[in-house]
Structures are given as structure tokens and as C-alpha cells.
Structure 1
Amino acid sequence: MTVDPPHRHVDTRDVQAILDDFLKSVDVPGVAVSLFTSKGVTVRAARGVSSIESPDTAMTPTTVGVVHSLSKVMTGTAAGVLVARGHADIDEPITRHLPDVPGRDRFAHTTLRHLLSHSAGIVRGPVPLLSEATWRDPLEQYVLGACLGAPRFAEPGQVFGYSELGIVVAGYVIQRIMRKPFVQAMRELLFEPAGMRRTTLDPFAAMTFPLCQQHVATPSGRLAVRRRFDANLMTAPSSGAFSCVEDLARLGVVHLGGDPGNRGRPLLTATAARQLHEPCVDVGLDIVRGYGMAIAIGPRYGNALSVGHEGHYDGNWSKLQLIPDLGIGAAWLDNRGEDPALRPRRQKYFDQLLHLLGAGRRSWLRDNGLGSTPDLAVAAEAAVAAGIYGRPAGRTITISAEANGLRVTDGVASVRYTHLAGHVYVAPTGAPNHIPWAPDPDSTRSTLSIVGSAQTPTHVLLNGLPYQRLGQH
């Protein structure tokens, strides 16, 4: 981490101009952003309205909204705080903290690193949208009733597999370490000491803050308010947080080694922050994309690698991105849900904000350290990768070897993948534009990556989705 990096002065009017241009180019009611450095929050700005039904209510940097998967970053950060305090070890089995929990034996070799980096081998979901209000401890009920018995597609540490359930279990471990409900533990570990005054995991507390309404497009193309929050205490560690860009920026300052709460010392030690940001697992795409502790790795800005996450579902969209080596970052919240047509527009203006702070040009190019692979080696890898692979749900896929590549079929579509570099193969053309063939949102090509030993691959990643080897073809 760079110490006291040179930071550019940013004029608030320049930030406001970027937001004005964004709102002119898209159908989004309101947007708020905060820029920050390792020294603290530097610029806050907002434009538009918090609801189309209240045109006089302006969006502000302290307007609160559901931030969905940015909750994962908060959970990972809280784990980092426990590590910094010596109360947890990121690489010890979590069963140490679950001595009386039925089903704990399935996690005898699972660590917080596995859970937070999406490499615990646990299926992604399903994730309930509602919980029983009468349950005394919804998170514990969900973990004991569903998460600990969830199907596994790999042993811990074998392969990447994005999993909300894994993050939920990590949150439950934090609850057990703190011996307090998860909502209270997060408030004491992170929200209060970081000065995140308008961040909460309690929907009833969130309603006491100025909220931006969620907006979705109707079949006619017009915007409408979506009148429900998909946030509940059962899945709070993964997707239940409410926050604002002022607080998200303070979270970013914590990751940069700063002291946003003016406590006199940072919440994270340099070692703990490095553990959060170091790539633990490769997503197996044609771009630079890995995962640290509940935080995504990539893209690069100039020569500096960024880390961050997005949070979105129906109605809200949020993003936190920081560049540790430059000591800078930005937070974004708008009140329109995920839309493929909006993604490049959001990214364009988000990059402009980072450029104001001195970030270089964005690049998703993978590390050339993958190197070139001789044709004979490619042919040998393709031959041993041939076989039948499956997921807990959906069609199996069959992989067969071809010259300088692989052919993959699910019985409906058949796609040829040619060698890119290392264990990564791409489909130049012809891949269907739906799961599992469609590229990752940040990629331009459908990608397949082979995982496991050179003699017997155990898994493949098809556009980041893990498939387990079931047998020979």
C-alpha cells in the first residue's frame, strides 16, 4: 500500500458536471457519488431526485438505498477487523467457532478465506427473499436449516464458485466470534468505528433515514417505483445492507488504511488489508478477474490493480472501487436497477470520476504472465480435459478435444473454444447469448477455463460458472 500518495485536487463542480452528463444520457432518476483517498472522503456530489413520485426531493450523498452485494464487502471487512485484533485467523477451520453446531463436520476443512473468496465449493443458492419475522435469530435459523447442508460441487479451495450461502456462513461465524447478533456485531466492528452513521442491516432502522426509492422499467418502457425491499436478516451478510455513498466512501477509506472514524488508528492493519485484497482465486475469464476476501480483483487502471464490488438487483445499483497502490477510490449509488444497456454508461462515467483523482486508463487485459503455451501442450491438455461435467442444476456439458482447442455442447448448443493463454480458452464467435454461454458482463468473449491437475482436471469454469467432472466422454 502506498503511503501518503500524491492526490489531485478535485473540484466538486467537475464531479457534478459528470453526473449531469450521465443523467442526460440515461433513464435514471438520481445518482450520488463520493470520492475518497487514504486521508478521507474528499468530494461528495449528487444529482437528480430520490423518487419520480417526489420530484422536489433531491438525491444527496447521504440518501440511503439498498446496496445488495456491497454487503459482502462489509462482511469481509468485519472479518478483517477481527483478524487485525487477533480474534480470528483467516486460514483456520471455521469449526473452531462452531463447537456445538450440528452439521459442523462438513466444514472441518473450510476456512473464512474459502467462504469469503467464493472457493468453499458451496452452491450459490437458492437465497430466500423473505424471512419469518417471528424467528428469534433469522440468520442462525437459515444457516442451521439450509446453509450447512447445502450441496457441494468441490472441496474447499479447489475452484471458484460465487456463493451467497458461503458469505452468509461467514457472517454467522462472525456472529459466533462476537457472541452478539450479526446486526449488532457489524455495528460495533465496522459501522460505528468507521463513522458509517447511515449504514444498517435492519430494514426498520433504514426506514428512519432519507431513502431513495427503487425504480424499474415497466413493459411499456416507463419507470415505476418498485415497492418492496429484498433485504432480510436471514441473508444480511450477503445482501442485506442499506447505505449511502458518504458511508461507502468511508468503507473505502478503511480499506486504504485510513481512519474515517477519527479513532486515532486505522481499523485494518496493513497485513489485514493486504489479506483482503490479495487474489485468492481466479474466476477463469479472458480478463483479469479474481477474488480476495469478498472483494473482486480487477480491472487495472494504468499499471495499478483495482479492487471493489457492485451491488444491484431490481431497483438500485451501487459500486465501490478503490486502487490501493494509488490510495484513491470512488463510491456510486443510483436508484435504477441493473440493465445491460446501462452498464457501459455507468462504467464510462465511473471511470471519469477515478480519472479526476489521477487513475490511468482502465484495462481488463489479463496478466501476460500466463505466457504462451506450445501447441503440443495445448493438445495434451485438451485431450485430458475431454469428459462430462455437471452443475447441481441445469444441463451437463460434454467437452471433446479438437485441434488447438475444445468443443463444448450441452445437447442443444455446440461451441468451439480456441486456446488463449495458460488454461484459458475463448469462443471467437457463435456462442449463444444466454447462460451458461453468454460472456461475463465485463468480458467480450465466452470463456472456458480448465481447473485441476494437468493429468486429471477436476472442474471447468464456463464464464465463471463451475462445472464438476462427472466422467469420461
Structure 2
Amino acid sequence: MRRLFGGTAGLAFVLALCPLDAVAQAMVDAAALDHEVDAAVKRYQLPGVAVGVVKDGEIIYRGTRGETEIGTGEKVDSATIFKIASNTKAMTAAMLGRLVDQGKLRWDDPVTRHLPDFRMQQDWVTREIQVRDLLIHNSGLPAGAGDLMLWPEPNHFTRADVLRGMRYLKPKWSFRSRYAYDNTLYIVAGELAATAGGASYETLMQREVFKPLGLSRCRVGAWSRDAVGNVAQPHRLRDDRYEVVNRDGSDIPESTMAAAGGVRCSLDDMLKWASMWLQPDRAGVQSGGKPWLSNAQRSAMWSMQQPMPLSARMQRWDDSHYYAYGYGWRLSDVDGTARVAHTGTLSGMYSSFTLLPQKNIGIVVLINGDADEARTVLMQALTKHFTAPSNNPGVDGYAEMLADERTHAAAASPSLIPDTRDRRPSTSSELAGKLGLFRDPWFGDVKICPESGNVYFAAAKSPRVKGQVMTTGQGWLVDWDGDAVSEAWLRFSSDSASPQRLKMAKLDPDGDFSDDFEDLDFQRVGDCPAP
């Protein structure tokens, strides 16, 4: 663990420079924050975590625990690189803001001005959708639409595939009528930036964000894990123990989903990122005294662009009164002060980033494990330390509140996950007339064919979307190899007058929205290949 005050010599130096009350408060803060980090690590047995706080432009806390990869002895420190996942979105939006400042695009430009071949399913939406709409989750598409082109990785989808696929994604609501979280339009935003900026997304991120802000350990695109070193690996829980999942190879490839969630950074980098937003006159000044981002674009980033549902928990825990999405940021209030925040989630990696601008405080949490609840309660307790310390039940108290919520929710609404314990492997004869090659206009080809005496579903462009077809009293389902995606029903049409069609749906209706099987619409296009 590393903190601001590291030993008596460092403390003596600080005492000579600072009033006693400031030092005492900083020591109290550090001890209290240590307590919360330790409580989260103990309660959730986290493989590794890095936490930092900036206040008034200074780092007042760094706390690290655990290992970059469990069992290796390689300790997490403030330079360890983590996947920040969807905290990438604010960086992508800010990069676009830089291009607006440079006169290379405008927020209200039609997307087709920069990407002439771009299409949404409805012509009027294609005509009306603007650059700003790519960033604020108001497209009318269902949450996670098209995410199966992005995850699980590795896959063979390109960004060109994503742009082409957008025209086939069916809206659930009217354009600009409501909020529904979206990743694929951030890919479009990244490609639009590349066109307007005259360089690839990765080059622009390095040129416009990492280099001018001194984010020296942040990475995007293709790079060498071994050359860079000190890279956290993702972990998942299995049988109440964490194990590595999706371990990086020595060479990390470019990712199609980079603009939505592909950046990796260290704690030190993310604290610099926080300081730039909180202290633009210090951390955001470039050579010649020019600000990294104009005041107009800073204001645009944090302006409420799309209302979001305000949850009962936010009202109960934080006395929140509003909730909205800006350009890559979630905007709300907590205990009477403004909050600008986001989270990031990828398989085996969780991040959380919170700014309290009126208090000049920024908080960063990076975890290299599947740790949704741990992230929630830890960030909540850390935030409360600065907004309402006398009303802070801490990590353990918030964890108990979540347990109570689950108990009440289960009593009020029993699980919708069907009982499929009667499942057994399907046979070719049972699936007679349903085997073959199927094609969806955006996901591409899959085959449902005999293999090694069983029947398998296999996606051509997403190798990890493969599994054995099972039968139950309720229908056919796919038991995937591994757990990269949620189990899914296979629903074949019975209309003999048209080509065989196939729909899919998650077994758990409340499962991860990125497993957007419900958006698929397959037509049978051929027979299984000869063995």
C-alpha cells in the first residue's frame, strides 16, 4: 500500500509546511479510507484493488491491496494498469470535444456529414442523428443492442462490421424519447472522430488525451504486456474463490470496442485525469498557457443531455434529486452537492470514478475481479466520507442494506429464471428439420450442426459463442462452453410457408443486457457442411 504520508520523515516534512489542523485532517482521512478499503477487501476477498483520492488538486490518499494476478505474489501498486472499461467513454467524449475546439466538427453535425454511409434502421433517424446523440444513450435502441459484435472477446468483428450492423438493429422506442445504455454508438463515435481528426481512434487518443495530460501508463490499441509490465489480470468467482479469466497474452491486440470500453490506465493516471477536471487551471494547462479543453466544451461535457431514471436507492442513500447523462458522464447530486461519475464493467474487471466538483474531490476505485457489489459499497462509503461523514454506515453497513434489498426483492418478485434441471443433450433426430446454417443480418452466420455425437451451436465471427444444444420440457437451449455469455433459448419458427427462422432469448430475463440474444433474427440459409 502507498499513501501520501509514508513514514515519520515524510510526516515531519509535511508538519513543517502545513498547519497542524490540515495535517491532522489528512491523517484522519487516510485512516478512515484505509478502514473502508480493508473492509471491502476482507468482505469480498478481492484479488486486487487500487483506490485513490485527490482533493484541491493534491493526492490525499493512495491505497493498494492484493496482487495483479492471484497467486503470483506480484503486488498491485499505483502504477498497475487496470481495464477501466466504460470509464473510457468520458475520454472518448473529451477527445471529440478537443476536435470541436479545433473546428473539425460540431456537436450538432449530422453523423452522415462525417460518415456518409452510416445508417440506422429508420431513414428519419439516419437523417436526424447528430454527433451528440452518439454519446448520450437516446437512440431508441434497447439497452446493449449489438453488443454481441463487441463481446465476448476475442472475436472477428471489425469496426466496419459494427457500423454496417447499426442499420439492422431494431429500435424499441422512439429516437430521443428515453435513456437506454448503448455501447455500439460509441464505436460509431470513435470512427467519426477518426474521420474528422484524420487519424485512427487509437492515434487520436494518444495524441489528444494521453500525451498532453501526461497519462503515461494509459494504453489503448495494440501493445506489449511484457514490455509495459505491471498489468492487472481479470478474475472471476468460482466456488467462492477467485481465478484468472481471459488472461492477457504477451501481445495485446487492438480491440473493436476500444471507444466504448477499451482503455487501460493506472491509478496514478486516473488521479491525473481527475485533477484535470477539478483543477483545469493547473492540471489542464498546456504549453503557452492554453487549456487542454475550452470552458465551453467542459461545460458541454457536464451538461444534462438525457434524463435518466432516478432510483429509489439513490433517493434513499444519497437524497438525490436528479439524474442525467452528459457526454460520457452520469450527472447527479449526493447530499446536496453535485456528483459527476461513471463506472466500468468488463468480465473480471470493475472500475468506478467519482468527482465532487463543488468540493474539489475526485475518487478512483479499480478492481481486478468480478466485484459489482464490492465496487458499489466501497465507492458509496468513500463518497459519503466527504459528503455526509456523520451518516456513513461504511462498507459493511451498505453491504447489509444491499442484502436487505435482495431479500425484499426476492419476496416481492420471485426469480424469473426457469428450472431447467431436466436438461439433457439434444440429438440430431430430435432436431430434424432444424439443423443447418442460419444468418442474422448484423451478427452473421451460425451453424446448428452435429459434432462429436452431439449438436452444437457455433457462431462464425465469435468463437466463444459456442455451446451444446440441450433439450428440456420447456424447449431447446444452449449450454455454452465456458461462461462468457448467458445461457439462451433457441426458438424455431413453425411457419412452413417461409424459410426456417430462429429467435433467441436469455434464460434469465434480467441477465446481462450485453448478451442481446433478443435482438437476433436468424433465417436458415443452408444445410450443415458435410462431416
Q: Give the alignment's TM-score, normalised by structure 1.
A: 0.67
CA distance in 1, matches of 2:133, 2:188: 11
| Partner residue, 1:414 | none
2:304 is the counterpart of 1:322: no
1:350 alignment partner, one of 376, 382, 390: 382
Tell me the equivalent position of 1:144: 163
Q: Answer yes or no: is 1:216 the counterpart of 2:216.
A: no
- 1:159 aligned partner: 178
**Contact 2:285–2:292, Cα closer than 8 Å, also in 1:** no
Q: Secondary structure at the match of 1:329?
A: strand
Mapped pair 1:236 → 2:258: yes
Instruction: Could you tell me which runs of 5 or more consecutive residues in structure 2 were left unpaired when the two chains were aligned.
Output: 1-21, 315-321, 394-408, 418-509, 514-531
What letter matches 1:260 in structure 2?
A
Query: Deviation of residue 126 (structure 1)?
Result: 2.7
Give the 3 Å change call, closer, same or farther, for CA 193–344 of structure 1 in structure 2. Answer: closer
Query: Alpha carbons of 1:434 and 1:168: their partners in 2 closer, same or farther (altered >3 Å)?
Result: farther
Q: Does the CA contact (< 8 Å) of 2:197 and 2:204 recur in 1?
A: yes
Aligned length, in residue pairs: 359
- Give the structure 2 partner of residue 273 of structure 1: 298
Q: Tell me which structure has the larger Cα radius of gyration.
A: 2
1:139-218 aligned within 5 A: 139=159, 141-206=160-225, 208-218=228-238
2-structure distance, mates of 1:79, 1:433? 42
Distance 1:301 1:282 in 2: 17
- Opposite residue 147 of structure 2, the aligned amino acid is P
CA distance in 2, matches of 1:353, 1:312: 24
* Distance of 1:359 and 1:271 partners within structure 2: 34
2:136 touches 2:326 (CA, 8 Å); kept in 1? yes
Equivalent position of 1:256 in the other structure: 278
Offset, 1:206: 4.9
The one-character-per-residue Cα deviations of 1:32-61 (angstroms, maximum 9, x if unpaired) are 122124635453331222222212x21111
Aligned equivalent of 2:324, options 278, 290, 295: 290
Amino acid at match of 1:255: W
The residue number in structure 2 matching 1:412 is: none
Q: Which residue identity lines up with residue 77 of structure 1 in the other structure?
A: A
Identity of aligned residues (%): 22
Deviation at 1:320, TM superposition (A): 0.6
- Distance in structure 1 (CA, Å) of the matches to 2:383 and 2:203: 35
The reply to whether residue 28 of structure 1 matches residue 46 of structure 2 is: yes
- What stretches of structure 1 of length at least 5 have no aligned partner? 1-6, 364-426, 436-461, 466-473
Determine helix, strand or coil for the equivalent of 2:365. Answer: strand
User: Residues 162, 66 of structure 1: CA spacing in aligned structure 2 closer, same or farther, 3 A cutoff?
Assistant: same
> Could you tell me which of 60, 69, 88 is aligned with 2:77?
60
**CA contact under 8 A between 2:302 and 2:340: conserved in structure 1?**
yes
- Between stretches 315-324 and 344-353, larger displacement belongs to 344-353
1:82 has 2:105 as partner: no
CA distance in 2, matches of 1:176, 1:221: 47
Cα gap change, 1:156 to 1:89, in 2 (>3 Å): farther
Note the C-alpha offset of 1:362: 8.2
C-alpha distance in structure 2 between counterparts of 1:114 and 1:61, whole Å: 35
Cα distance between partner residues in 2 of 1:325 and 1:85: 29
- Larger relative helix fraction: 2
Rounded to whole Å, the distance in 2 between the matches of 1:291 and 1:102 is 24
Q: Distance in 2 between matches of 1:143 and 1:346?
A: 35
Counterpart residue number, 2:367: 334
Q: CA deviation at 1:233?
A: 2.1
**Which one of the candidate residues 373, 389, 412 is aligned to 1:430?**
412
Q: Secondary structure at the match of 1:233?
A: coil
